[in-house]
Amino acid sequence: MSRRWLFADQLGPHFLDDRRQPVLLIESKSVFRRRAFHRQKAHLVLSAMRHRAAELGDQARYLRTETYADGLRQVSEPLDVCHPTSRRALDFVRRQGRVTILPARGFVTAMTDFADWADGTRRSSLRLDTFYRFARLRHQVLVEGADPVGGRWSLDQQNRRPAPKQAGRVSVPNPPTPREDDIDAEVRADLDRWEREGIRFVGRDGPRRFPVTRREAQTRLRHFLRHRLSAFGPYEDAMLSTDASMAHSVLSSSFNLGLLDPMEAIRGAEKAYRADGAPLPSVEGFVRQLLGWRDFVWNLYWYFDAGWRDSNALAARRTVPRWWQEIDADAVRAHCLSDALDGVRSRGWVHHIPRLMVLGNYALQRGWRPDELVDWFHRSFVDGYEWVMTANVAGMSQFADLGRMSTKPYASTGAYVDRVSDYCGGCPYDPKVRLGENACPLTAGYWSFLHRNKDRIRDNPRMARPLKQLAQLADVDAVAAQERQRGIDPP
């Protein structure tokens, strides 16, 4: 039997074929030397690998080396590996010549099925909605025959409730917190030593907040399905300054480390609806995230060409400023942005809407380089990986490909943030104002973005109305000049 080489994001039992299969895990220090990762992300990944090695005992060889190549030189047996999750890792494995590459695991829709679906679809329809229908039918999730349960594929209209501003939080219990152990203490000591040796991290250290073992991840999943899923749908798109996780699952790092198979969560949610009375809009919303979005962005990463990651069709050439790179939330007065950055700094995680509509939106408006943002999101979030960042950052949030996966740029004014959150009340800026002392940087930034890019997005039918509104603004040149002057300074 070949020895199974497990990468750090392949840690669940579904990455092995046999309970006794010999395993190789390589902890490469050069990964952390090359780029400054969030300290808590480094901790999470190393702790998860070392916990997996401890679980496997003699079955696993655990090598701590400078590079993967150094590790491989110490192993002479035949090796196989499940399809790696980045092009760089795949090329490296291929170059070794002696490692058998197996099909990918940890996702639902196989790459070949996705390619068949995409090849048979009009390019302009390579959209989440059409893929999601295909996946629901292909995997028989929440369907009755050829129809969706509840009569509609998306029940989003029934979700979208405003943030419960008065209560200050969604009324659900917090996700269970993992307890640190000796392995975590050892990881923390190693990272302290690496920092003294000159390896740089970003973000703050803190107690470990995310699962590193399958058991911890399963506990969080069960808790979510029982206590939080019902409230997931209504508040999916809302934000609260006093409730970071709201009713989100906070499971992305567990799926991405391979601790959980997405299908077990999807089936668990379906059962919560069919057997335990969980509301269908919440269940459908959660299934759409996992079976839809997660698999869609994974498969697009491989389906599109390697150059997709570096697209920059909006000619966004400004380098990401230092305060953002260093996640200096204290330098920022704009409440929504400061809180989103603080979440990244203190825990390496904020939910979908701060990522897309605050962080991504602000960067898009400023014309920052998409490739630098892909790198920043990848390094700064506990769940960040190359495959997930390319689509979410370059494709969706920065519209750097002019819409290969999205129908329009996710640019919006402060009015959006005001509608879905409680941020604007505690902010020195006013979301309705675009010019002057208290002009909201997102509102002014929105008009300035449209002004700068009007020729590039002119042919997009969904941008016709905003561009018409732009043409009617008498003060647009002044707004654009004001935002140019704001430059790279924190707002």
Ligand X SMILES: Cc1cc2nc3c(=O)[nH]c(=O)nc-3n(C[C@H](O)[C@H](O)[C@H](O)COP(=O)(O)OP(=O)(O)OC[C@H]3O[C@@H](n4cnc5c(N)ncnc54)[C@H](O)[C@@H]3O)c2cc1C
Q: Which stretch binds ligand X (CB under 6 A): 105-113, 166-174, 267-275, 282-290?
A: 282-290
Contacted by 377, from ligand SF4, ligand X, none: CB < 5 to 8 Å by type:
ligand X
Residue 365 buriedness (CB in 10 A; 0-12 / 13-18 / 19+) = buried
Minimum CB distance to ligand X smaller for 72 or for 442: 442
Contact between 329 and ligand SF4 (CB under 6 A)?
A: no
Residue 388 and residue 298 in contact, taking contact as beta carbons nearer than 8 Å: yes
Q: Which of 60, 128, 334, 444 binds ligand SF4 (CB under 6 A)?
A: 334
Counting contacts by CB under 6 A, is residue 56 touching ligand X? no
> Is 445 among the residues that bind ligand SF4 (CB under 6 A)?
no
Does the footprint of ligand SF4 cover residue 335 (CB under 6 A)? yes
Region binding ligand X by CB under 6 A among candidate stretches 196-204, 292-300, 310-318, 418-426: 292-300
- Binding residue for ligand SF4, selected from 234, 258, 348, 431, defined by CB under 6 A: 431
Residue count, binding to ligand X (CB under 6 A): 28
**Does residue 347 interact with ligand X by CB under 6 A?**
no
Q: Is 318 left (phi over 0), alpha (psi -120 to 50) or beta?
A: beta
Residue 289 near which of ligand SF4, ligand X, none (CB within 5-8 Å, type-dependent): ligand X
Cβ-based neighbours of 11, under 8 Å, separated by 6 or more: 48, 49, 52, 214, 257, 258, 259
Distance in angstroms (rounded) separating the CA atoms of residues 237 and 352: 8
Beta carbon nearer to ligand X, 24 or 344? 344
Among 107, 255, 368, 416, binds ligand X (CB under 6 A): 255
User: Alpha helices, DSSP H only, in 80-181?
Assistant: 87-96, 111-119, 128-138
- Which residues, in sequence order, are CB contacts of 219 under 8 Å at separation 6+? 176, 211
Alpha carbons within 13 A on the beta-carbon side of 421? 29
Q: Which stretch binds ligand SF4 (CB under 6 A): 88-96, 158-166, 216-224, 412-420?
A: 412-420
Residue 269 near residue 287, CB atoms below 8 Å: yes
Decide: is 128 part of the binding site for ligand SF4 (CB under 6 A).
no
Does 324 bind ligand X (CB under 6 A)? Our answer is: no
DSSP 368: B
Phi-psi region of 209 (alpha: psi -120 to 50; beta: other; left: phi over 0): alpha
With CB under 6 A as the contact rule, the residue among 203, 354, 441, 445 that binds ligand SF4 is 441
> Is the Cβ of residue 117 or residue 399 nearer to ligand X in the bound state?
399
The residue (of 389 and 427) whose beta carbon lies closer to ligand X is: 389
Is the Cβ–Cβ distance between 137 and 146 less than 8 Å? yes
Length of the chain: 491
- Does residue number 249 form part of the binding site for ligand X (CB under 6 A)? yes
Smallest distance from the beta carbon of 245 to ligand X, in angstroms? 7
CA 243 from chain centre, in angstroms, equals: 19
Query: Residue 335 binds what, of ligand SF4, ligand X, none (CB under 5 to 8 Å, by partner type)?
Result: ligand SF4
Question: 72 burial class (0-12, 13-18, 19+ CB within 10 angstroms)?
Answer: buried
As to burial, measured by CB atoms within 10 angstroms (0-12 exposed, 13-18 middle, 19+ buried), residue 277 is exposed
Which range binds ligand SF4 by CB under 6 A, 1-9, 192-200, 395-403, 429-437?
Answer: 429-437
Name the residues that contact ligand SF4, by CB under 6 A. Answer: 334-336, 414, 417-418, 423-424, 427, 429-431, 440-442
